[in-house]
Amino acid sequence: MEIEILAFGITKDIIGNKSLKLKVETPCRVRDLKILLKKDYPKLELLTSLMIAVNENYGDLDLLLQEGDEIALIPPVAGG
Amino acid sequence: MKVIDIILTNEKLSLEKAVDFVRAEQAGGIVTFVGTVRNQTKGKKVIRLEFEAYEKMALSEMRKIAEQILFDFEINSVAIYHRTGNLSIGEIPVVIAVSAPHRKAAFAACEFAMDRLKKTVPIWKKEFFEDGAVWVSAHP
């Protein structure tokens, strides 16, 4: 399936865009997506942390991605 | 009566608005936290900050924090405001106000909310120095 991934903060700089379309094999879990992305963009590996949000909630590594999910890269947050 | 007020905006935050929102007849006091943009980081002069948010999720994470402190502490109401965009030194990126019958709960809830906000709300801060810029906390 094809998924679209939103990027914020430093991940936007690393990917060079505010979103990204990616073809992934199903089933695809959050864990698999992180491995794929870190392979394509090795600089993601250097971050303090990288969370994946699915439909505006932090996704566990085991969470299965579905077609049409809103997926976002969440590098270390720094509000306040 | 509404007991939670959440705002994410690129316009100036109003402490007065937050205080007015949480003011309640049952309350014995109001505790507020106002974040301000500091002029240096580890001795390096900061020119300005830029805040970026994943807006929909930031709003829902801010609301979760408000709901959690209402559940966990003996408080009346809470306002959590955060700003996005470019901020100069001394400007206010965050305001939290909590009212409670007794002050201890208000202090504790306000501190908990601020600590939590820094950990869970998807907002990012870029610090601009004279010789470049960095995303805060991105790298170890």
Where along chain A do its domains lie? 2-74
Chain centre to alpha carbon of residue B33: 7
Q: Which residues of A touch B119 (CB under 8 A)?
A: 77
Give the integer Cα–Cα distance in Å for B58 and A72: 12
- For residue range B59-75, list pLDDT tens digits in order: 999 999 999 999 999 99
Tell me, what DSSP letter sits at residue A29?
A: B
Q: Which of B33, B100, B24 is nearest to B69 (CA)?
A: B100
Nearest residue of B to residue A54, measured between CA atoms: B57
Q: For B13-63, give the DSSP string.
A: --HHHHHHHH--TT-SEEEEEEE---SEETTEEEEEEEEEE-HHHHHHHHH
Please check whether residue B140 lies inside any domain of the structure.
no
Please give the angle made by the CA atoms of B117, B119 and B121, to the nearest 5 degrees: 55
Residues B127/B52, Cβ–Cβ less than 8 Å: no
Our CA-based measurement puts residue B74 at a distance from the nearest CA of chain A, in whole angstroms, of 24
Chain B: residue whose CA lies nearest to A8 = B54
Which residues in chain B are closer than 8 Å to A45, comparing Cβ atoms? none
Is residue B64 one of the residues assigned to a domain?
yes
pTM of the entire predicted model: 0.96
Two structure tokens written together for B17 = 């608005």
Q: Which residues 86-125 in chain B show a CB within 8 A of chain A?
A: 93-94, 114, 117-125
CB A58 within 8 A of CB A47: no
- pLDDT of B1 > 80? The answer is no
Tell me the CATH number at B40.
3.90.1170.40
Closest alpha carbon to B93 in B123, B70, B119:
B123
Q: What is the pLDDT of residues B80-128, one digit of tens each?
A: 999 999 999 999 999 999 999 999 999 999 999 999 999 999 999 999 9
Residue A39 CB contacts under 8 Å (≥ 6 apart), including other chains: none
Return the SS3 of B124: strand
Tell me, yes or no, whether B53 lies in a domain.
yes
Give the single-character DSSP code of A25.
P
**Which residues of A touch chain B, with CB atoms under 8 Å apart?**
6, 8-10, 13, 46-48, 53, 56-58, 72, 74-80
Q: Measured in Å, how far apart are chain B's first and last C-alpha atoms?
A: 44
CATH of domain A2-74: 3.10.20.30
Domain range for residue B99?
A: 4-135
Is B82 at the interface with chain A, CB within 8 A? yes
Q: What is the pLDDT of residues B5-36, one digit of tens each?
A: 999 999 999 999 999 999 999 999 999 999 99
ipTM: 0.96
Between CA B73 and CA A46 the distance in angstroms is 38
Per the structure, the count of domains in chain B is: 1
- Confidence check: pLDDT of A80 > 80: yes
